[in-house]
Structure 1
């Protein structure tokens, strides 16, 4: 920053309450005994009990309620050192805002309790907010006056200021870090200041009382500017029929009267009088409506009050707990205490609701610990479905060694798959500029926990298990180096493939046969022993992804794609959601033959994907003209529908239905025939998820990603097989709608992640996802809605034009 550069904040932009600290009272109090009283030797000397009353005045009028410090009787000097937070925010202040401070002594009679007062302007003559320590001289026997101009200014007149006043200003700068600290010189300076202070006190005879107040400081200076000052005035009115837009500075602000009324109402109902209250039929309907709200919905003041009022009658309703906890005023200590007591007695909630309690909305450590206790009921298979989001939830914890972190490490210590994925999920976040320390801490706790394990897990001791996981990182580092070397080779793809096989067989021959088996990062229970050079290849792509064939310890092989130069964390999230939705559908006895292949990000710009033998629809249509012709090659049946087996056609229809619904819900964009793949058994699946939550590089994308070639393979829009396809779509959609809260909670936990389409605007993305579930409709209405959606997508002609242009582009590429 240049020497002439001045950085500042505007007061109208600071949405924080006015905060300051009342430190101490300096000077000697006047005699507390009345001059008319008779004192004898047996009378015990009275000890003053002081408090400070703080009141805010804006433009000479009182604003808000006064605030008082605690009583202080340990003096002199009387030291409160108490932080005062007003209800008013900095953005609400005006240029002439004043703080009136009055010291009272409750040990005196009513007429003698006033010690003195002083008033201070919050902004100086340069319209800058005052910061640091301010020493105010009290006007003894006078209550602080907040009028303009004030009769009780705390600022000492210039002609009465001494050397001590100048030194105290320098001390103020010293404490704010504006003067360099030099230990030996500081000690000498402060001793000299004590001597000057004693000399000044003797000269003034301790006749003055001073109140020391410390105003909070900001990173830069705060300059006064009135809210709305930057708004342009509306254009001049040319006709009486025109609407005039007027900016209202009160919009969005809390209504003090309403807030006070709600606080009083809740304080009245905080006791035992609510225990036997039962809601009326109207109130019961309102409560049931609130309980059906999605987790993204913010409760209004009246809704919060309703849930609080009938909290005791709702304790048997497990769905109500998360909504009740949202209605709690956590800043109120007594209310928070009662809420936590009720939480422990509440009907036990489901695991999907516990995920909501780990979102950034809930900051209470007790609430988050309760959520973890519910998660402990989930088995390892279910926990693995949520592991990615639970790692992201560590961002919202208040401690590096939180209950959630300890739980994840404990469960991973007994399951090698959980341990491997947990390690990778936290490893990838080491580059997070804000929370890297937290993820690193979890990684270290996991390492310590696993290395101390006794032999038993998979027949190996902990140190050996952890070493096998660390070797995964070494393997990915070597693969990244190979990708760079291959990418530097000039020539066509075939020359790059030759270079890859040459490296694996020559300089990097240790990758052909590992000294010790390594656990596959994608499937940790599978031990890989080396790479088969002749069966490894490179995809024709700008990033040159590697397609590697690994030997496995049991004599088989597995194929993995390694990509370098691309962030695949978004693909990892989408495939995880596909896997979760596949599980939810199967729990309802609906198997749509989905292909949730494995994806693992091993860095910010690299990762592994499971290779599934398949061909793109673009290649199939170019070689076989239609999907049916391609399937006839593998599953011919003269008596079957369209010349293929009924099983193959049913598999194709179900997989098309499953991915049509899932891609619609997740708002997956950039769909073309090159990222729709077809397996030999008829399973269709999607790859490459660079655009989600409604984003799409193509103009006017259809709501449903369903191409006409897929409909033709079902016999056309009038076919019974197409009708069956629509039936599967509607059934799957309604099943997934039942788990909308779970899916929304999982995406809410990803709000702080670095995934591009979420990080850009997390709130907007989650609301888009919520809209796709159409929670305002019942199941029957949703059937009609989804059928209309399919018909609209199939009849869209514009996407077919884009598809043709894309084919041309691929051809010339």
Structure 2
């Protein structure tokens, strides 16, 4: 059928009875009318027994016999969901045919109480038969009037319609298949609609009663036509199932017959038969498509059954295990037993897939224990990449003393860096009352096992001294918190606060200038720090007055750390961890984009440390040098090089711009301005301050990619070969990271229960937004075109440049 064709049926040729479904009653019933002889308590205890009387009126006169629904007393809300078939047929209807619906209450015995009524026309203003769900407002205490025009119209007045009315019409179209189905978007939409519905219900209160009626649908629209009219059309419609298609409102609900058949298909006796089954060519294609689904995708009933049917032939396919385990009905003891036996014989899965088995989707202790056994194969460097999420996965364990807890502690005993980070990650979560006991047990068992060690993880310290070194990290952060408060209380400019800071650090009673015993750096436990250099410590000009501290190290060098109090760094910690992981993934494919994954550690709910990287913000650079090119010429001049800069420096700048452009797009990092884009002397650009992630942005109309025009100008403009090279690096990096989308999605899924603001607000929505950024529906070539279009759209975005100008003015006057 071409896009311009309009196919329809004529009402005069439909030889079928008028059919519709009375679904439910919404709203609160009026108080019952009780005689004075009855007590109030009797009236309060009475429950309504309701039925709906349905009558057809043609041109204001009753036509045929009225029909009643069954009695319904399980309210509120009263839910009939009863199919009503009238004696009249569609061919008998006129354009002014109406359906009169009256709700009666018979809970008082012989005396029926009228609740209300409503009338609806069966044809709309375009003379098309109404289909789908309709919400009729009942006229309280009035019987439905079938006259034309009626005095009890069920249509809600325009001024009373809200957002919910519009959404219900869209749902109506969706259920009839007129709106394309997108799994992840549908889930988000229906979840938001539930919230809107609750809000509207609480706002409207009990002022109105609504009756929901569902009219059947046909394959094509039905247009009114009087019988015998001269009109050319196809042959009349007969009452056959091949032509008339009626939407089933119970579609998707549990079918008892199918459920029984499913149980029989998955019984133990089927195992002998299924063992030798091999999928056909089409079934193999369907299975391969399912295996490519992201971990957030919910499998349909047919897909679950397909994987179960060919479970034996899939055992050599390691990617199929997580999908197969999602097909298992774990409440069925026999089925769960079969699945666990197969899991033990399955091809060993990769570590990234094992992370999926630790998500809240899988509650079976055996499955989670299997995931831990796979993690045991990971080396310490890989395990440290996932340590933050593995600690969060403790929330989903069924017991405090889980195998995951034991595994994390045992690995920490062999590596001081893992021990230090595990201790901090767990300590921060102790503030969560819902899971404090579980995290405390892990903390306690780590302490107990470390103090039992006869020798340390590096062989030259005993366990007690090692643990004390980690405890002194907490004492150090407590002292820095106290100093920060004292510095903030100093009245005056930043210079006076800096003087106060240095005074506190170098005072006679200060223990911070020289530590009695070296302390392992919280940010880098392999480094021993011996004290703070007061003269090289300072304060940033900011509302929270972060401290910039220079620490002496045991090998005679120094390291610089930023300490913040009053800011939750757990979100920054997660983003930087993801940057570090993506840098690792890119380098494994021989693509080094010169990223700067500086270290971040949250030491409390509102405090933490960051590694200080010598750099300057683009706002400062543009203010003093007017362009990025002029700034880089200062440090890497080359008369023969492009734009007067060494080729190495320019290449570093282009690669780092490409890397962060892709990463910030995937993670949906918002609030990007020239003050949180920093540039190092060697040309490396990097981002800081990740207060908005997963698509959140305080600025209106943010560009899809955070790429400012100053960066493009430093590459020679949008027509230069260096800008073309930048786009090439972007597309290459995007395709590499898309290959690891399952790993990144699994890590974020494990963070679903965390207290990180932009995840805790709506974990499912955030993860689905992240999944959308990978565009897994595209192949590599199509994704390149998609990403190039994103870059072009971002560069040409004018509005963000206006916002950037306003932001610069605000920073200037601050």
TM-based fold match above 0.5: yes
User: CA separation in 2, counterparts of 1:649 and 1:548?
Assistant: 32
SS at match of 1:267: coil
Q: Which residue of 2 aligns with 1:627?
A: 628
Q: Quick check: 1:270–1:335 contact (8 Å CA) kept in 2?
A: no
Which secondary structure does the structure 1 equivalent of 2:716 belong to?
A: coil
User: For residues 305 and 605 of structure 1, what CA distance do their matches in structure 2 show?
Assistant: 48
Q: Which segment is superposed worse, 497-506 or 658-667?
A: 497-506
Q: CA deviation at 1:92?
A: 11
Mapped contact 1:538–1:544 kept (Cα < 8 A): yes
Equivalents in 2 of 1:494, 1:232: separation in Å? 68
Q: Within the alignment, does 1:682 sit opposite 2:659 as a pair?
A: no
Partner of 2:807: 806
Q: Distance in 2 between matches of 1:285 and 1:603?
A: 50
Question: In 2 relative to 1, CA 674–234 (structure 1 residues): closer, same or farther, beyond 3 Å?
Answer: farther
- Do the aligned partners of residues 336 and 670 (structure 1) sit closer, same or farther apart at CA in structure 2, a change above 3 Å counting? same
Q: CA contact under 8 A between 1:626 and 1:709: conserved in structure 2?
A: yes
Q: Residue 658 of structure 2 corresponds to which residue in structure 1? A: 657
2:332 maps to 1:355: no
Give 1:79's aligned residue: none
Q: 1:301 to 1:236 in 2, by over 3 A?
A: closer
- The 5-angstrom pairing of residues 51-66 of structure 1 reads none
Alpha-carbon distance between aligned partners in 2 of 1:729 and 1:259, rounded to the nearest angstrom: 49
Instruction: Determine the structure 2 residue equivalent to 1:470.
Output: 471
Name the CA shift for 1:332/1:236 in 2 (closer, same or farther; >3 Å).
closer
Q: Distance in 2 between matches of 1:235 and 1:299?
A: 31
Change (3 A) 1:389 1:508: farther
| 2:210 alignment partner, SS class | coil
For the structure 1 residues 510 and 708, does the alpha-carbon distance in structure 2 shift closer, same or farther, using more than 3 Å as the test? same
Q: Which residue of structure 2 aligns with residue 233 of structure 1?
A: 210
Q: Deviations over 1:733-769 (max 9, x none)?
A: 0000000000000000000000000000000000000
CA distance in structure 2 between the aligned counterparts of 1:266 and 1:538, rounded to whole angstroms:
67
Asked whether the 8 Å contact 2:352–2:743 carries over to 1, the reply is: yes
SS in 2 for 1:525: coil
2:306 corresponds in structure 1 to 306
In structure 2, how many angstroms separate the alpha carbons of the residues matched to 1:690 and 1:752? 19
Q: Deviations over 1:600-633 (max 9, x none)?
A: 0000000000000000000000000000000000
CA displacement at 1:253 relative to structure 2: 4.5
Which SS does the other structure have where 1:431 is aligned?
A: coil
Return the offset for 1:257.
Answer: 3.6
Partner Cα separation in structure 1 for residue 431 and residue 75 of structure 2: 35
Per-residue Cα deviation, 1:456-496 (whole angstroms, up to 9, x for no partner): 52211111001100000000000001111111111111111
Task: Tell me what 1:720 maps to.
Answer: 721
Structure 1 equivalent of residue 296 of structure 2? 296
By how many angstroms is 1:234 displaced?
A: 7.2
Partner Cα separation in structure 1 for residue 287 and residue 714 of structure 2: 49
In 2, distance between residues paired with 1:517 and 1:806? Answer: 44
Unaligned runs of 5+ in 2: 1-25, 27-48, 51-73, 81-106, 109-200, 215-221, 225-246
Residue 93 and residue 796 in structure 1: after superposition, are their counterparts in 2 closer, same or farther (change >3 A)? closer
Distance 1:554 1:660, change over 3 A: same
Kindly provide the CA deviation profile for residues 140-193 of structure 1, in whole angstroms up to 9, marking residues without a partner as x.
Answer: xxxxxxxxxxxxxxxxxxxxxxxxxxxxxxxxxxxxxxxxxxxxxxxxxxxxxx
- 1:603 equivalenced with 2:580 (yes/no): no
Corresponding position: 1:747 with 2:756: no
Q: Provide Cα deviations, 1:122-142, integer angstroms capped at 9, x if missing partner.
A: xx99xxxxxxxxxxxxxxxxx
- Preserved CA contact (<8 Å) 1:526 1:552: yes
CA contact (8 A) 2:268 2:334 kept: no
Residue in structure 2 matched with residue 506 of structure 1 by the alignment: 507
Match of 1:550 in 2: 551
Question: Using a 3 Å threshold, how does the CA distance of structure 1 residues 660 and 399 change in structure 2: closer, same or farther?
Answer: same
Q: Indicate how the Cα distance of structure 1 residues 658 and 91 shifts in structure 2: closer, same or farther if over 3 A, else same.
A: farther
Distance 1:693 1:436 in 2: 27
State the match for 2:480 in structure 1. Answer: 479
Cα distance, 1:95 vs. partner?
11
Q: How far apart, in 1, do the equivalents of 2:785 and 2:357 lie?
A: 35
Is 1:537 aligned to residue 538 of structure 2? yes
Alignment of 1:640 with 2:617, yes or no, is no
* Paired residue total: 595
Aligned alpha-carbon RMSD (Å): 2.8
What CA distance in whole angstroms lies between the structure 1 residues aligned with 2:808 and 2:573?
Answer: 27
- Distance in 2 (alpha carbons) for counterparts of 1:95 and 1:801: 55
TM-score, scaled relative to structure 2: 0.70
Aligned-residue offset at 1:455: 1.5
Offset at 1:258? 3.2
Deviations 1:324-381 (A, max 9, x none): 0000010110110010000000000000000000000000000000000000000000
Which residue of 2 is the match for residue 765 of structure 1? 766
User: Is 1:325 matched with 2:322?
Assistant: no
Contact 2:528–2:553, Cα closer than 8 Å, also in 1: yes
Q: Is the 8 A contact 2:267 2:334 kept in 1?
A: no
Note if contact 1:616-1:676 (Cα within 8 Å) is conserved in structure 2: yes
Q: Which runs of 5+ in 1 are unaligned?
A: 1-11, 13-58, 61-89, 97-123, 126-224
Q: Quote the Cα distance in structure 2 between the aligned partners of 1:286 and 1:432.
A: 44
Partner of 2:788: 787
1:432 equivalent to 2:429? Answer no
Q: Quote the Cα distance in structure 2 between the aligned partners of 1:91 and 1:403.
A: 47
Instruction: Note if contact 1:669-1:695 (Cα within 8 Å) is conserved in structure 2.
Output: yes
1:579 shift after superposition? 0.1
Aligned to 1:137: none
Q: CA deviation at 1:663?
A: 0.1
Structure 1 pair 508/811, CA: closer, same or farther in 2 (3 Å)? farther
Helix, strand or coil for the counterpart of 2:400?
coil
Distance 2:410 2:213 in 1: 68
For residue 93 of structure 1, report the CA deviation from its aligned partner. 10
Deviation at 1:270, TM superposition (A): 3.7
Mapping 1:52-91, distance limit 5 Å? none
CA positional deviation for 1:401: 1.0
Match of 2:694 in 1: 693
1:295-316: per-residue Cα shift (whole Å, max 9, x none)?
0001111111111110000000
Aligned pair in 2 of structure 1 residues 578, 232: CA closer, same or farther (>3 Å)? farther
SS at structure 2 position matched to 1:370: helix
| Whole-angstrom CA distance in 2 between matches of 1:232 and 1:728 | 61
**Structure 2 CA distance for partners of 1:506 and 1:274, relative to 1, 3 Å:** same
- 1:698–1:508 CA distance, 2 compared to 1 (3 A): farther
Q: Contact 1:631–1:644 (CA<8 Å) still a contact in 2? A: yes
Q: CA deviation at 1:260?
A: 2.9
What secondary structure is seen at the aligned counterpart in 2 of 1:509? coil
Deviation at 1:254, TM superposition (A): 3.2
| 1:434-455 deviation line (CA, Å, top 9, x unaligned) | 1110000000010011111122
Shift of 1:433: 1.7
Tell whether 2:413 aligns with 1:413: yes
Q: Secondary structure at the match of 2:678?
A: strand
Q: In structure 2, what is the equivalent of residue 346 of structure 1?
A: 346
Distance (whole Å) between structure 1 residues aligned to residue 356 and residue 739 of structure 2? 16
Q: Which residue of 2 aligns with 1:568?
A: 569
Task: Report the CA distance between 1:505 and its aligned residue.
Answer: 1.2
Q: 1:427 touches 1:443 (CA, 8 Å); kept in 2?
A: yes
Distance in 1 between residues matched to 2:423 and 2:413, nearest whole Å: 11
Listed one character per residue, the Cα deviations across residues 675-709 of structure 1 (whole Å, up to 9, x for unaligned) are 00000000000000000000000000000100000
Q: Aligned partners of 1:588 and 1:778: how far apart in 2?
A: 18
Which residue of the partner structure matches residue 589 of structure 2?
588
**Other structure's SS at 2:550 match:** strand
Matched-pair contact (CA < 8 Å) for 2:661–2:706: yes
Alpha-carbon shift at residue 91 of structure 1 (Å): 10
**CA–CA separation in structure 1 for the residues paired with 2:473 and 2:309:** 55
Q: TM-score if structure 1 supplies the norm length?
A: 0.70
Within a 5 Å distance, the mapping from 1:382-461 to structure 2 comes to 382-458=382-458, 459-461=460-462
Report the Cα offset of residue 233 of structure 1: 2.6
